[in-house]
Structure 1
Amino acid sequence: MTTLVTDTGHPVITAWSAVSPYGIGRDAYAAGLRERRGTVTGLGPEHGTTPDGVGCVVPGFGVREVLGKKGTRSMDRVTGLAVTAVGALLDDAERNRAVGTGEGAAFTLGTTTGSAQSMMDFTRDSLTGEQPFFVDPARFPNTVMNCAAGQSAIWYQLKGPNATIAGGRAAGLHALNYARRLLGSGRARTVLCGAAEEFSPARAWLEHRCLDGTDSADSAEGAVPPLGEGCAMLLVEPRAPEDAGQPVLAEILAVELGVVLDGADPRPALVTCLRSALHRAGATPADVAAVARSGAPGRAGGAETEAVHEVLGTAGPADLTPAPLIGDTGAAAAAFQAAALLAFAADRPQQAAGRIGVITSVDRTGSVGCALLRLR
Structure 2
Amino acid sequence: MSGPAAALSASPAGTGPDQVRGPVITGWSAVSPYGIGRDAFVQGVSSGRATVSVLDTERWPGPDELACLVPDFDVREVLGKKGTRSMDRVSGLAVTAVRELIAESEGAGLPAGGEEVALVLGTTTGSAQSMMDITRDTLIHEKPFYIDPSHIPNALMNCAAGQCAIWYGLKGPNTTVAGGRASGLLALNYARRLLTAGRAHTILCGAAEEYSPARSWLERHTRHPDENATVLGEGCAVLRLQPPGTHPHPLAELLCITTAITHPHHITTTLAHTIKRALHQTRLNPHDIWAVSPSTPPGTTADHERHALDLIFTDHTPHHIPAPGPIGDTAAATATFQITTLLSHHQQHPQPPNRIALITAIDRDGVLATALLRLL
TM-score computed with the length of structure 2 as normaliser: 0.92
Aligned partner of residue 240 in structure 2, secondary structure: strand
Partner of 1:238: 243
CA contact (8 A) 1:229 1:329 kept: yes
Any residues of structure 2 matched to 1:161-172 within 5 Å, and which?
161-172=173-184
- Relative to 1, partners in 2 of residues 1:255 and 1:46: Cα closer, same or farther, differing over 3 Å? farther
Paired with 1:214 and 1:314, the residues of 2 have a C-alpha distance of 31
Q: Given residue 295 of structure 2, which amino acid in structure 1 is its aligned partner? A: S
Q: Given residue 309 of structure 1, which amino acid in structure 2 is its aligned partner? A: D
Paired with 2:31 and 2:112, the residues of 1 have a C-alpha distance of 18
Q: Given residue 359 of structure 1, which amino acid in structure 2 is its aligned partner? A: I
Partner of 2:18: none
Partner of 1:297: 298
- Relative to 1, partners in 2 of residues 1:314 and 1:29: Cα closer, same or farther, differing over 3 Å? farther
- Relative to 1, partners in 2 of residues 1:88 and 1:289: Cα closer, same or farther, differing over 3 Å? same
Q: Given residue 258 of structure 1, which amino acid in structure 2 is its aligned partner? A: A
Partner of 1:76: 88
Q: Would you say 1:269 and 2:270 are equivalent positions?
A: yes
Q: Would you say 1:249 and 2:254 are equivalent positions?
A: no
Shift of the alpha carbon at 1:345? 1.4
Shift of the alpha carbon at 1:131? 1.3
Structure 2 alignment gaps of length 5 or more: 8-20
Q: Would you say 1:56 and 2:68 are equivalent positions?
A: yes
Task: Give percent identity, aligned residues only.
Answer: 51
Any residues of structure 2 matched to 1:127-142 within 5 Å, and which?
127-142=139-154
Any residues of structure 2 matched to 1:336-375 within 5 Å, and which?
336-350=337-351, 353-375=353-375
1:46-65 deviation line (CA, Å, top 9, x unaligned): 64122231011100000000
Aligned partner of residue 255 in structure 1, secondary structure: strand
Shift of the alpha carbon at 1:187? 1.0
Q: Given residue 253 of structure 2, which amino acid in structure 1 is its aligned partner? A: E
Partner of 1:151: 163
Paired with 2:309 and 2:161, the residues of 1 have a C-alpha distance of 32
- Relative to 1, partners in 2 of residues 1:132 and 1:38: Cα closer, same or farther, differing over 3 Å? same
CA contact (8 A) 1:295 1:323 kept: no
Q: Would you say 1:210 and 2:215 are equivalent positions?
A: no
Partner of 1:326: 327
Paired with 2:336 and 2:112, the residues of 1 have a C-alpha distance of 18
Any residues of structure 2 matched to 1:194-209 within 5 Å, and which?
194-209=206-221
Paired with 1:375 and 1:99, the residues of 2 have a C-alpha distance of 25
Partner of 1:219: none
1:153-200 deviation line (CA, Å, top 9, x unaligned): 010111000100100000011100000100001111111000000000
Q: Given residue 281 of structure 2, which amino acid in structure 1 is its aligned partner? A: R
- Relative to 1, partners in 2 of residues 1:344 and 1:255: Cα closer, same or farther, differing over 3 Å? same
Paired with 1:79 and 1:316, the residues of 2 have a C-alpha distance of 40
Structure 1 alignment gaps of length 5 or more: 217-223
1:102-159 deviation line (CA, Å, top 9, x unaligned): 1111110001100000000011011101211111000000000000000000101110
Paired with 1:93 and 1:153, the residues of 2 have a C-alpha distance of 16
State which drifts further: 10-19 or 312-321.
312-321
Paired with 1:100 and 1:123, the residues of 2 have a C-alpha distance of 40
Q: Given residue 234 of structure 1, which amino acid in structure 2 is its aligned partner? A: L
Query: Which structure 1 residue ranges, 4+ long, deviate > 6 Å from structure 2?
Result: none
1:1-36 deviation line (CA, Å, top 9, x unaligned): xxx955613100000000001000111111111111
- Relative to 1, partners in 2 of residues 1:303 and 1:257: Cα closer, same or farther, differing over 3 Å? same
Q: Given residue 184 of structure 2, which amino acid in structure 1 is its aligned partner? A: G
Shift of the alpha carbon at 1:212? 2.1
Aligned partner of residue 110 in structure 1, secondary structure: strand
Paired with 2:34 and 2:185, the residues of 1 have a C-alpha distance of 22
CA contact (8 A) 2:69 2:233 kept: yes
Any residues of structure 2 matched to 1:176-195 within 5 Å, and which?
176-195=188-207
Paired with 2:89 and 2:221, the residues of 1 have a C-alpha distance of 22
Partner of 1:220: none
CA contact (8 A) 1:100 1:235 kept: no
Shift of the alpha carbon at 1:313? 4.8
1:195-246 deviation line (CA, Å, top 9, x unaligned): 0000001101111111222334xxxxxxx43001000000001102xx5x53
CA contact (8 A) 2:286 2:316 kept: no
State which drifts further: 143-152 or 98-107.
98-107
Q: What RMSD, in angstroms, separates the aligned Cα atoms of the two structures?
A: 1.7
State which drifts further: 6-15 or 182-191.
6-15
Q: Given residue 92 of structure 2, which amino acid in structure 1 is its aligned partner? A: G
Paired with 2:4 and 2:193, the residues of 1 have a C-alpha distance of 13
